[in-house]
């Protein structure tokens, strides 16, 4: 576990930003948003959840070194809640090691790495609790074919990598069941790669 985290820590970034939330009958209010991202290209392309950066005026990204830079939204996919942001790092970035989600087994050890409640680069451990879960988090957002894990997933973990014991990203953490303990969900990495390749296609951009 120590080796797996150490090998991937520099490929994970912390995302911060303010957004305006409007609720019916209330004055619009500014809230601080936070999330996590994984570097998928050394030039500064980062995958995260769209709900992390949606409506954020200025996306701030903190690297593992502590350096902070701004980012811009390059592309997003509402259906899967994935987004690509681009940063201009002061140096070439380490890229997250990509695994596969096609051979996952229930009970295998997984690690979540992310900006939990603003505590940057928090590591939690758990197992694959179930596969192919469908989750409805709101009237407008439903996820299909998710990995369920009991690794602690908290607000701020969204968009961060779910790693296997070899330090390979096998999913992107996306949701936690409100009120539940030890029930978190991740988008399988094979699906993430499929959507990311579409989002970064010349035609799409």
* Known catalytic membership, residue 158: yes
Does residue 201 have an active-site annotation? no
Q: Which of 75, 101, 129, 158 is catalytic?
A: 158
Q: Compute φ and ψ for 204, nearest 5 degrees.
A: -65, -45
Answer yes or no: are the C-beta atoms of 181 and 161 closer than 8 Å. no
- Surface-to-core class of residue 89, CB atoms within 10 Å of its CB (0-12 exposed, 13-18 middle, 19+ buried): middle
Contacts of 32 (CB under 8 A, 6+ apart): 16, 17, 18
CA–CA distances in Å: residue 204 to residues 56, 125, 160: 22, 36, 24
Could you say which of 16, 51, 76, 121 is catalytic? 51
> Of the listed 75, 76, 81, 129, which one is catalytic?
81
Q: Which helix (H) or strand (E) holds 2?
A: helix 2-8
C-alpha–C-alpha distance, residues 63 and 71, integer Å: 12
**Residue 127, SS3 per DSSP:** strand
Kindly state the tokens that stand for 46. 């980062």
In the structure encoding, which two tokens stand for residue 49, read together? 């959840």
Q: How many of the other CB atoms lie within 10 Å of CB of 70?
A: 12
Catalytic residue numbers read 51, 81, 158
């Amino acid at each position: 576990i120590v080796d797996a985290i150490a090998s991937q820590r520099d490929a994970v970034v912390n995302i911060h930003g303010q957004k305006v939330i409007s609720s019916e009958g209330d004055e619009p209010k500014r809230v601080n948003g936070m999330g996590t991202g994984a570097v998928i290209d050394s030039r500064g392309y980062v995958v995260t959840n769209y709900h992390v950066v949606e409506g954020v005026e200025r996306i701030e990204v903190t690297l593992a070194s502590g350096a902070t830079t701004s980012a811009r939204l390059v592309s997003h996919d509402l259906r899967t809640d994935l987004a690509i942001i681009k940063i201009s790092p002061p140096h070439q970035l380490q890229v997250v090691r990509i695994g596969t989600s096609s051979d996952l087994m229930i009970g295998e050890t997984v690690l979540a790495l992310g900006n939990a409640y603003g505590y940057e680069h928090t590591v939690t451990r758990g197992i694959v609790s179930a596969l192919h879960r469908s989750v409805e988090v709101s009237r407008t957002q439903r996820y299909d074919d998710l990995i369920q894990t009991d690794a602690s997933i908290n607000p701020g973990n969204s968009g961060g990598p779910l790693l296997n014991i070899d330090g390979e990203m096998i999913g992107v953490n996306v949701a936690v069941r409100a009120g539940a303990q030890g029930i978190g969900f991740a988008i399988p990495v094979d699906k993430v790669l499929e959507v990311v390749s579409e989002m970064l296609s010349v035609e799409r951009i």
